[in-house]
Amino acid sequence: MLNSWTVRLRNASRELKLFAGASLVFGMAYSIFDSVFNNYLNATFSLSGFQRSFLEFPRELPGFLAVFATALVWFLSSRRLGALALVLGVAGSLLIGFASSSYPVMVLWLFIYSLGNHLLMPVSTTIGMELARDGATGARLGQLNALRNLATIIGSFIVFIGFRYLSMTFQNSFTLAAALFALAAVLMFRMRPEKAQKPNRYLKLHREYSLFYLLAVLYGSRKQLFLTFAPWVIVNVYHQPTQTLATLMTIGGIIGIIFQPILGRAIDRLGERAVLAAEAVLLVGVCLLYGFSGRLFSPQTAFLITCGCYLADQILMSVSMARSTYLKKIALHPGDIQPALTTALTIDHLFSISVALLGGLIWNAFGYQYVFLMGVGIALINFFAALRIRIPAGVEAAAAPAQAGS
């Protein structure tokens, strides 16, 4: 596999090399930040379950504002916008690490960091699809996601070694993340800019993309449950140290390196409907076990099952690429893709912020188990929505014989 990757990278275009390098570097930065952030909150501010869920409002608000922020800087191409997003990551990481004199101040810095993160999400997907051959979009996204999984391994391994053996601090972690964001911004800026989209593209809803918007809402809602509450269960319920989440992210990254390219090819060959429906079915089991294994098994067994569910969800998150390839296939115009991805991000965050707040109330009133029972309901709705996917016959026929390129 390593030799195959080496050959493909050698034969890749300049743009793909630069984007792959930027993806690897910013993937490491996000991994380092995510590996320490929950423990940083617990150690610095001692938040309750509801307080932790309420923090998702300022953290996810930039996702809701993404379409408006992108429209304001419409004159930037996607690659320049990506570089700007990474600069915001630099600023947010440093400010959180060194200027969080109080909880409200930290929330402000988190907003800046999160704005960069959410601006980058649709941009990185758009660029990845632009760099794919016809009919091999899933394969290309799978390759890039596998590269980010490698980045997750490296970043979380750095945190594990640093905290266990090198007396690494939270400030050290945020500084390293900022340096990596800066390097990724330079690589992204060196890419040739393409034509910028007009601002009205970002503020327009297309009826033809309504199912895509619904799938994005469901994905954002279920993703928010796990991003907010899954690590918090491990840290707060099972009382695990920083190294535990870093270790789980490392294991998940190793699995993802193998799984992501396979998933990408499966999307190209089996189609988005089959892949998204299968994800929904698996997610039902993951949510039930994550929520109720503590009531069914001994504490040690329940913790191991919870870790397994955490890893399974990390893998299932990757299926989001099928939503993007579905949009590409039904897009009325290629210029609609990034604006539609950004619009979907805004729509899904309107719901995901509500899910995080509702989840916090449910946690406080009934226990964390019922937060994941809500996830079961979301997964079931997602299953029936996925069954409604239809790809235009001409597009499906053209994509079927295509194989992944380099």
In a domain, 4, yes or no: no
Nearest-angstrom CA–CA distance, 93 and 242? 18
> What tens digit of pLDDT does each residue of 225-241 get?
888 788 888 888 888 87
In a domain, 115, yes or no: yes
Nearest-angstrom CA–CA distance, 137 and 286? 28
In a domain, 404, yes or no: no
DSSP 306-368: HHHHHHHHHHHGGGHHHHHHHHHHH-SSGGGHHHHHHHHHHHHHHHHHHHHHHHHHHHHHH-T
Report the pLDDT value the prediction gives residue 98, as an integer from 0 to 100: 93
Per-residue tokens: 37: 């952030």
In CATH, what number is assigned to the domain containing residue 246? 1.20.1250.20
In a domain, 2, yes or no: no
In a domain, 5, yes or no: no
In a domain, 322, yes or no: yes
Which residues, other chains included, contact 330 with Cβ-Cβ below 8 Å and sequence gap of 6+? Answer: 208, 209, 212, 391, 392, 395
Nearest-angstrom CA–CA distance, 181 and 30? 8
Percent of the chain scored above 90 by pLDDT?
A: 30
| CA distance between the termini of the chain | 13
CB 38 within 8 A of CB 232: yes
What average pLDDT does range 258-271 have in this prediction?
88
> What tens digit of pLDDT does each residue of 155-176 get?
988 988 998 889 899 999 999 9
pTM: 0.75
Give 237's DSSP letter. Answer: I
In a domain, 122, yes or no: yes
CB 83 within 8 A of CB 189: yes
Report the pLDDT value the prediction gives residue 362, as an integer from 0 to 100: 87
State which residues form the domain around 107.
15-399
CB 281 within 8 A of CB 383: yes
Is the pLDDT confidence value at 199 over 60? no
> What tens digit of pLDDT does each residue of 93-134 get?
999 999 988 888 998 999 999 999 989 988 888 888 888 777
Per-residue tokens: 123: 């941009």
Structural domain tally of the chain? 1
Per-residue tokens: 53: 């869920």
CB 249 within 8 A of CB 380: no
In a domain, 369, yes or no: yes
For residue 241, report the phi and psi dihedrals to the nearest 5 degrees: -80, 175
